[in-house]
Structure 1
Amino acid sequence: MRTVKELRLAGLFAYLAALVLALLFSLLVHFLLGGGGRLGWGGFNFYGLLEGLAFLLFFTFALYVAQRAVRVPCTTLLTAGLLGPLPAYRLAKPLPQVEAPEAYEGRGVALLVQEGRPIGLLGLSDHIRPLEEVPSVEAEAAVSELYPLFLREPLVLVVRGEEVLGAIFREAFYRLAP
């Protein structure tokens, strides 16, 4: 799972690459038209409008290709990495903790802890599910990277080291995630 920082950096590089490629393509069109295009402060003409249109079309195409290549959210790409996706810990809801399975009242999902360490989850099925079988992500992982996990699982645990910060449920993910 990629972090928010990695996605923002990938969005910046993809945006800059698309911009440079579009400028180079516009320069190529400028030279192919004989260098007579003017689109800017000094005035404009038909060749200048063609160069501007070539820039816009190629820039749009390059952004599309860049988004497919680096798989970043659209807002991150279009803002050149200024706006990144949410980190996973922002969507995580804390889970109630129980010391023994007998103390579980059967409402919702609870974290089973033993000697202060989490060992499993109660409430997902009719038995205790070991923590190793539940998908988990680091707290700084980008929420946009969690889509494949929610195709198979109803929740994803958010951890920082050995500490369980909470869980993101499928319904909340689809409702709140961008």
Structure 2
Amino acid sequence: MRTVRELRLAGLFAYLASLVIALLLSLALHLLLGGQGELGWEGFNAYGLLEGLLFLLAFTWSLALGQRATRIPCSTLLTAGLFGPRAAKRLARPLARVEGVEAYEGRGLALLYQEGRPVGLLGLSDHILPLEEVPSVEAETAVTELAPLFFQHPIVLVVQGEEVLGAVPREAYFRYLGA
């Protein structure tokens, strides 16, 4: 699972690589045409339009290729990494802490603690779900990286070291994505 910082850096590098590729291809065409292309600098001609069109096509193609290769969100790629997805800890909802099963009131999700350590999750089914069966991610993991986990599980725990910060339910994840 990648962090927000890693996705932002990948977006920056993919954007810059696309820009360099498009500029180099446009320069190559400019040199092939004998330097006659003028697009807004000193004049305007058909060669300049051809160079500009090649730049746009190469930039768009390399951006699409970069997005497929790095699997980063479109907004992160198009802003050159300025806007990244949220961290999982910002989308996580806090969970109630229960020291024993008898203290659980049956409303919502709760973490079952024994001897000061979390051991299970209450509220998803009729029984206690051990924490080993619930997927968990680090707090700085990008929210967009959680998609594969939600195909099999309705909830993902957000942890920082040994501490459980909260949980991201499937509904909150899809609401974040706008679906």
Structure 1, unmatched stretches of 5+, are none
Report the CA distance between 1:137 and its aligned residue. Answer: 0.3
Amino acid at match of 1:169: P
Q: Distance in 2 between matches of 1:152 and 1:107?
A: 23
SS in 2 for 1:40: coil
Q: Distance in 2 between matches of 1:18 and 1:35?
A: 23
Contact 1:8 1:83 in 2 (8 A): yes
Give the equivalent residue in structure 2 for 1:175.
175
Give the equivalent residue in structure 1 for 2:152.
152
Report the CA distance between 1:33 and its aligned residue. Answer: 2.1
SS in 2 for 1:81: coil
Amino acid at match of 2:53: L
Contact 1:143 1:177 in 2 (8 A): no
Amino acid at match of 2:131: L
Give the equivalent residue in structure 1 for 2:5.
5
Q: Distance in 1 between matches of 2:116 and 2:22?
A: 57
Report the CA distance between 1:116 and its aligned residue. Answer: 2.0
Give the equivalent residue in structure 2 for 1:165.
165
Q: Distance in 1 between matches of 2:144 and 2:177?
A: 7
- Output one character per residue of 1:132-174: Cα deviation in whole Å (capped at 9) or x when no partner: 1100000000000000000110000000000000000000110
Report the CA distance between 1:177 and its aligned residue. Answer: 3.3
SS in 2 for 1:42: coil
Q: Is 1:55–2:77 an aligned residue pair?
A: no
SS in 1 for 2:34: coil
SS in 1 for 2:158: strand
Give the equivalent residue in structure 1 for 2:26.
26
Structure 2, unmatched stretches of 5+, are none
Report the CA distance between 1:32 and its aligned residue. Answer: 2.4
Q: Distance in 1 between matches of 2:5 and 2:44?
A: 41
Q: Which moved more, 1:149-158 or 1:101-110?
A: 101-110
The alignment's TM-score, normalised by the length of structure 1, stands at: 0.97
Contact 1:156 1:169 in 2 (8 A): yes
Q: Distance in 2 between matches of 1:11 and 1:60?
A: 14
Give the equivalent residue in structure 2 for 1:98.
98
Give the equivalent residue in structure 1 for 2:113.
113
Report the CA distance between 1:36 and its aligned residue. Answer: 0.5
Give the equivalent residue in structure 2 for 1:78.
78
Q: Distance in 2 between matches of 1:51 and 1:58?
A: 10
Q: CA RMSD in A?
A: 1.0
- Output one character per residue of 1:20-65: Cα deviation in whole Å (capped at 9) or x when no partner: 0001111121122222101133222110111011100110000000
The alignment's TM-score, normalised by the length of structure 2, stands at: 0.96
Q: Distance in 1 between matches of 2:109 and 2:18?
A: 46
Aligned residues: 178
Identical pairs, percent: 72
Q: Distance in 1 between matches of 2:69 and 2:31?
A: 29
Q: Distance in 2 between matches of 1:40 and 1:16?
A: 23
